[in-house]
Structure 1
């Protein structure tokens, strides 16, 4: 059963230099309160695995939205993502050498995380064959031909910590995501040594119907009650 912790306790669980997975898409679905607390922690040198780097402005007028705070503060030394065009600071930091950036096709990244969570040796995909994707030897293990078609063998991805956010999380750590906010969080919750979930709302066990549980509590180590944080 997941243990409920404060924001401060959650941030204390994340060490300097950690590889962190963050669910969400352009900030939607980020665990905003945990990320905000982490941005103020003084910790850094993180490797961030996320779909993107969010964007400088948020929907409520925030200066930096979600993981964009970590980028702005220089806390990310290595970003592994699928697209970064809406956050100009990524390009600046990439070109000045303060942040390494690896761009991976979106579907491939999701499958690489899924493979890491499932204990598989990677994933075969035709995406990127014959393109510069092939040149990234940190993530492309080689080529495989199946039935006459070439595939890239992409390595599995895991992290030290996954930070996810659920709209409703029960007291056993079972998670229900609202709408598309589930993106990337499902495989990320299986592919990290430590999973910290932020709840928009904490509910009693049984209030989430079993068939509506998206991430099972067995995968969640700690929960922050974001509604009270």
Structure 2
């Protein structure tokens, strides 16, 4: 039984279908990367998993439990966290306050998790008293990911974590994704820098028209000439 199983999922906004049969499975040791053209349903898939749009068909299970159409506040205690692409930090709060907000569901001592997050994102420790809105784009992304980790998720959903970042910050974020995964958290991410992300992906999913066009390891997709020609720019 996979940590996350998405089976033949259909859904959309206001009755307009966007997902037309998405399938994917993620284990805790996996880094899954979703790529594809604009409008393929990539971010919509993450939102469907996290209960942010209506699933009209198919099944989504987390640790064997059906979670399709569960609200996010029910999913976080089950071990799911989501970092959206935009508006993902509280800009007027300090870095430290942002991280504390990520632990809102917990009633235990969060100090060890705070230490873990500051160890995972060293630049944040020095800036912990600074307002998150004053940070660079890359550092704000670190705050958003760190806050999501404060709930101690089994699976972390990331929507375009490198969007708008410089190449240096992009690589820093990707290295952190790998390190978070090594610490025991499954990853499922949508990424526009497809080639770079597939280099470290254990599983890759190419979506087009709201359904899977290709599924394989990151390496298999990179080495597939059809995938490279149609979806990776040759």
TM value normalised by structure 1: 0.31
With a CA cutoff of 8 Å and minimum separation of 6, indicate the structure with the bigger relative contact order: 2
Higher helix share: 2
